[in-house]
Amino acid sequence: MSERTLILMRHAKSYWSANKADADRPLSGRGLRQASQAGRWLAHSIDSIDLAVVSPAKRARRTWELASVELGTSPPIWIDDRAYGASASELLRVVRDLPDDADTVVLVGHNPGMEDLVAFLTGESVPMPTSALAVIGLDASWSAARQSSAILRASGRPPGDRPSVPGNEAGAGHK
């Protein structure tokens, strides 16, 4: 079996408004820029993406919409209600349910679940501010993902804090 690649992407910066329910918050101006920048990094650094699994929250859906425009060819998208406000264990269930024919998957969601899932899978603590990415390699099927079963390939937030490979501060990324 070839290595699987899981890309965790936290939604871009949202606009806080007392008049909107949490799930309905839109992206801020900064968030609109962040999402496109993250998409450009993905287009440059990842060969292909087979599937995007996205939280139903408006800010997560819009983040992926803007990021995927930068890819040229957008992968199929699944809106998964389980990804909204999910804990690491809930996100792990989403990962374990991914289809076997998808080798590279983007999961767009929220903190603290995203940071906690990176730590659970890789044993590494990675900050996941808005629009941050964590590229994780797994040598097993999705259904076999478990604690410390993966390797962190790159993490960070483009462009100022470009995703970087651990031990390579130049930000080479994964391709």
Pairing between β-strand 150-157 and β-strand 161-164 as defined by DSSP bridges: antiparallel
In the chain, beta strands by DSSP E: 4-10, 51-54, 77-79, 104-109, 133-138, 150-157, 161-164
Decide yes or no: CATH 3.40.50.1240 for domain 4-164.
Answer: yes
Residue-level pLDDT, tens digit, the chain, 175 residues: 578 999 999 999 998 876 888 899 999 999 999 999 999 999 999 999 999 999 999 999 999 999 999 998 989 999 999 999 999 999 999 999 999 999 999 999 999 999 999 999 999 999 999 999 999 999 999 999 998 889 999 999 986 545 555 543 333 343 3
Q: At what angle do helices 88-96 and 113-122 cross, to 10 degrees?
A: 70
Q: How many CB atoms lie within 10 A of CB 122?
A: 22
Q: What is the DSSP string of 104-123?
A: EEEEEE-TTHHHHHHHHHHS
- Residue 18: its pLDDT value, please? 67
- Residue 171: its pLDDT value, please? 39
- Residue 41: its pLDDT value, please? 95
